[in-house]
Amino acid sequence: MKKKFKIINGNIITESAILSNGTVFIEDEKIIGIEKTNIPTSDFEEIDAKGNYVSPGFIDIHVHGGGGHDFMDETEEAFLHVAALHAKFGTTSLLATTLTADKEGILKTLDVYNNVHFKENKGAKFLGIHLEGPYFSLNQRGAQDPAYIRDPDPKEYMEILERSSYIKRWSIAPEKRGAIELGKILSKRGIIASMAHTDAVYDEAKLAFENGFSLLTHFYSAMSSVTRKNAMRYAGVVEAGYLHDELDVEIIADGIHLPKPLLKLIYKIKGPDRIALITDAMRGAAMPNGVYKLGNQSNGMDVNVEGGVAKLMDGTAFAGSTATSNRLISTMTELAEVSLVDAVRMLSSTPARMMNMNNQIGSIKKGLDADIVIFNNELEINRTISKGSTIFTS
């Protein structure tokens, strides 16, 4: 028998407006209708939103861990625990993200993902793998382990690409020797090539954009801007992001990585259809203050989490974040003064479009997956629904 239910008395957040006191009809895994009122039915179970917001599920395309686990721990337990943890905060889909590591560490993480992709998962859905590194600028490494940073090696990256069909995105410094060729290969395979941890000047970023790079990883963070060489000024990757309208950007909207003026500037220039909000969360997300490993539990880098901020032990760089998805919405609406509709769009339909999955997820529309979050005015999550099944309720 098909599972039928409807969410009533909700303020439904669409891509352009909020539908007050609306109703969402769901059958099995799909949304089958949205109405302005509660149409009487006899065979639909009711979920009363009680005047709270009914939103598309949040899509986090850059997350490393949370709740004491990291995807680089190389265990299925870690993957499933992180997915369950972020579901509590409204995330219904995520890209499991790696860190710079040796080839063996990357391959083992891919092997674990290959096994866990189709396993029963009571948390956020896995959309695939996002490889962050190891082909980065040493100068812009941030919290990436310098011991593993290197140039793209065709023999190595082809072995990595052949190891898993679930690689959906790869973050690379485009100025590295061989990076443009790798970008071309990724683009042909339908994998997002993203500029990251980069010291590229504008012309190098422009060349990368022209050869398949379509996204800028954690915009501004570990990324070149205006520099001077021999008294001459050169634009950087940040300026390329602004000048090329078709370039997408993602931002860590935790209220820490980017101050209010920059959040407002990015929104003003790029707009909600080109910005994805990300947590970049590490294992210290939703955990108390303390020292945590960034990356693999046994050989990762020590990170100090204090007051909700994750930094390297010497304090020289942020080391991911402790943000959860609902915090991103709060930051954008309260600090950046963005409308709730646009803030939600940057965490739902926009990342879905970037992933070329907007015909499946990212909006409350007929025919799309029933990925839905119900939350109150304080952005507290009441219920998270993934493909028609409740995966968290408060």
DSSP 345: H
Q: What is the pLDDT of residue 18?
A: 97
Q: Residue 384: what residue type?
A: T
Read off the pLDDT band of 42 (50, 70, 90): confident
Instruction: Give the whole-angstrom CA distance, residue 302 versus residue 311.
Output: 9
332, two tokens: 């954008």
Q: How confident is the model at residue 139 (pLDDT cuts 50, 70, 90)?
A: very high
Residue 280 annotated in active site: yes
Q: What percent of the chain has pLDDT over 70?
A: 99
pLDDT category, 289, cuts 50, 70, 90? very high
Question: Which stretches of 58-198 are DSSP H helices?
Answer: 76-87, 103-116, 154-163, 179-188
**Contact predicate 101/145, CB 8 Å:** yes
| From 27-31, 39-43, 160-164, 257-261, the region with the lowest mean pLDDT | 39-43
How confident is the model at residue 56, as a pLDDT? 98
CA 253 – CA 248 distance, rounded (Å): 15
Are 284 and 309 spatial neighbours (Cβ–Cβ below 8 Å)?
no
Concatenating the DSSP letter of every residue in 259-291 gives -HHHHHHHHHHH-TTSEEEE--B-TTTTS-SEE
pLDDT at residue 118 in the model: 86
Question: What is the set of domains in the chain, with CATH numbers?
Answer: 4-55+365-393 (2.30.40.10), 57-354 (3.20.20.140)
Average pLDDT over residues 166-171: 98
| Overall average pLDDT of the 241-258 stretch | 98
Condensed to tens digits (0 to 9), the pLDDT of residues 102-126 reads: 999 999 999 999 999 988 899 999 9
Residue with tokens 């992001």: 241
| Measured distance CA(316)–CA(332) in Å, rounded | 26
Of 338, 334, 320, 348, the residue nearest 379 (C-alpha): 334
How many CB atoms are located within 10 Å of the residue 389 CB? 12
pLDDT of residue 1: 58
Of 254, 280, 369, 371, the catalytic one is: 280
Question: Does the structure show a pLDDT above 90 at 39?
Answer: no
pLDDT at 376: 98
Average pLDDT rounded to a whole number, residues 226-255 = 96
Counting residues of the chain whose pLDDT is more than 90, the rounded percentage is 96
Average pLDDT over residues 59-65: 98
Contact 253, 220 (CB under 8 A): no
pLDDT at 169 over 80: yes
- The rounded distance, in Å, linking the Cα atoms of 256 and 111 is 34
If you average pLDDT over residues 136-152, what whole number do you get? Answer: 97
Distance CA 133, CA 301 (A): 15
- What's the mean per-residue pLDDT of the chain? 97
Weakest-pLDDT range from 114-118, 234-238, 245-249: 114-118
